[in-house]
Amino acid sequence: MNRLVRTAGVVVLALLAEHANAAVTEDTINASYYRSDVAALEALRKELDVSGPVDATLAGYLDWRLASVLVGNGDEKAADAALERGQRTLEALVAKEPDNAEAWALLSGTLGMRIGIQPMTRGLRYGRSANRAMNKALELEPGNPRVLLIDGIGKLNTPSMFGGSRKTAMQQFDAALAAIRANGPGRYSWGEADVHVWRGIAERYARNRDAARAAFDRALEIVPNYEWARYLRDRLDTV
C-alpha cells in the first residue's frame, strides 16, 4: 500500500470517527432521556466508546441520565453499574479540568445517587466526597443553573441530619430558574424542565398537590414528551 493510499485511509477513518461522535450530543442524550428510552441511551453510550476518544463530559452526563431512568425502572443494579462508570469518568475529568464546574456537579450528583442505592454502606464512604464536589462546583460557578439544580436534588434527597433541607432545595431550584431566565432559554440545552420536575417533587413532599401539578405541567410545556414528568403528574392523586 503506497503512502498516499495509507494517508487517505487515515483521513477517512478520522472523519468517520468525528461523524460518529457528532451523533452523541447533549440534545441526542436529552431526547432519549426525556422519552425514558434506556435502549437508546445505552446505544449512545456504546457509540461514545467505539467512535474515537471519549468525550468525558458527555459520557459522565450520559451515565447520570441513564442511571436516572434505570432507577425509575427499578433496575438499581444496572443503574449502579452506569453510575460507577460515570464516577470513574468524572473523577478523571475533574483531575484534568479542575475548573469544570458542571463536571464537579455531575460527580456530586453521581455519588449522591450511588449513596441512594446503598445508603447504609455508602453514606460514610461517598458523602464527604459528594459534598466536596458540590462545594467546588458552587465555588466555581455559583450562578450556573445546572449546578444549582443538582445541588437542590442533593439537598432534597439527603436526610436533614446529614445536611439535607427541603427548604434549601427549593431555594436552589428557584435560583436555577432565575439563572435560566437571566441567561435566556438558548444558553442551556437541558435543565429548565428538570428544575420544574424537582420543584414538583418537593411540593408533593410538602403535600402541596396543586403546586406540584402546576410544576409538572410547566415541565411538560417545555418538553411535551417528558415521560417522567407525565408519570409523576398522573400519579399525584394516588400518593
CATH number at residue 157: 1.25.40.10
pLDDT at residue 109, as a whole number: 96
pLDDT at residue 162, as a whole number: 80
Amino acid identity, residue 12? V
Q: Are 223 and 229 in contact (CB under 8 A)?
A: yes
Helix 192-205 vs helix 227-234: angle between axes, to the nearest 10 degrees? 20
pLDDT at residue 19, as a whole number: 40
Q: Tell whether 226 and 172 lie within a shared domain.
A: yes
pLDDT at residue 51, as a whole number: 60
pLDDT < 50 stretches in the chain: 1, 3-21
> Phi, psi at residue 52, to the nearest 5°?
120, -165
- Nine-digit cell string for 27: 440534545
Q: Are 187 and 180 in contact (CB under 8 A)?
A: yes
Q: Tell whether 198 and 149 lie within a shared domain.
A: yes
Q: Tell whether 9 and 119 lie within a shared domain.
A: yes
Amino acid identity, residue 101? A
State how far the alpha carbon of 35 is from the alpha carbons of 79, 228, 234, in Å: 17, 8, 16
Q: Tell whether 37 and 121 lie within a shared domain.
A: yes
pLDDT at residue 176, as a whole number: 95
Select from 136, 157, 174 the last residue of a domain: 136
pLDDT at residue 37, as a whole number: 97
Question: pLDDT, tens digit, for every residue of 47-65?
Answer: 987 765 678 999 999 999 9
Q: Which domain holds residue 217?
A: 142-239
pLDDT at residue 185, as a whole number: 61
Q: CA-to-CA distance for 177 and 36, rounded, in angstroms?
A: 23
Looking from the CA of 42 toward its CB, the CA atoms found within 13 Å total 9
Angular region, 154: left φ>0, alpha ψ -120 to 50, beta rest? alpha
Q: Tell whether 71 and 96 lie within a shared domain.
A: yes
Residues 6+ apart with CB under 8 A from 200: 211, 212, 213, 214, 215, 216, 219, 229, 232, 233
Q: Tell whether 168 and 219 lie within a shared domain.
A: yes
Alpha helices in 73-207 (DSSP H): 76-96, 101-117, 119-140, 145-157, 166-183, 192-205
Q: Tell whether 34 and 111 lie within a shared domain.
A: yes
Q: CA-to-CA distance for 94 and 92, rounded, in angstroms?
A: 6
pLDDT at residue 148, as a whole number: 97
> Phi, psi at residue 114, to the nearest 5°?
-65, -35
| CATH code of the domain containing 2 | 1.25.40
pLDDT at residue 237, as a whole number: 77
Q: Tell whether 108 and 191 lie within a shared domain.
A: no
Angular region, 226: left φ>0, alpha ψ -120 to 50, beta rest? beta
pLDDT at residue 125, as a whole number: 82
Q: Tell whether 104 and 197 lie within a shared domain.
A: no
Q: Tell whether 131 and 181 lie within a shared domain.
A: no
For the entire predicted model, the pTM comes to 0.86
Q: Tell whether 216 and 197 lie within a shared domain.
A: yes
Q: Tell whether 165 and 121 lie within a shared domain.
A: no
Select from 119, 136, 153 the last residue of a domain: 136
Domains contained in the chain, number? 2
Q: CA-to-CA distance for 125 and 16, rounded, in angstroms?
A: 42
Select from 73, 105, 136 the last residue of a domain: 136
